[in-house]
Amino acid sequence: MSRISVIVFSRSYANSSWCLDELVKIMECKRTLRQMVFPIFYDVDPSDVRKQTDSFGEAFVKHADRFLLDMDKVLRWRSALTEAATLSGWDLRNTADG
Residue 49 resides in a domain: yes
How far apart are alpha carbons 34 and 21 in whole angstroms? 19
Q: Residue 72 sits in which domain range?
A: 4-91
**Which domain CATH number covers 22?**
3.40.50.10140
Residues taking part in catalysis: 22
Q: Is residue 38 part of a domain?
A: yes
Q: Does the residue 96 lie in any domain?
A: no
d(CA 43, CA 1): 30
Residue 97 lies in a domain: no
What mean pLDDT, rounded, does the chain reach? 93
pLDDT, one tens digit per residue, over 17-45 is 999 999 999 999 999 999 999 999 999 99
Q: How many domains does the chain have?
A: 1
C-alpha 19/C-alpha 7 separation (Å) is: 9
The answer to whether residue 77 is domain-embedded is: yes
Q: Give a yes or no: residue 98 inside a domain.
A: no
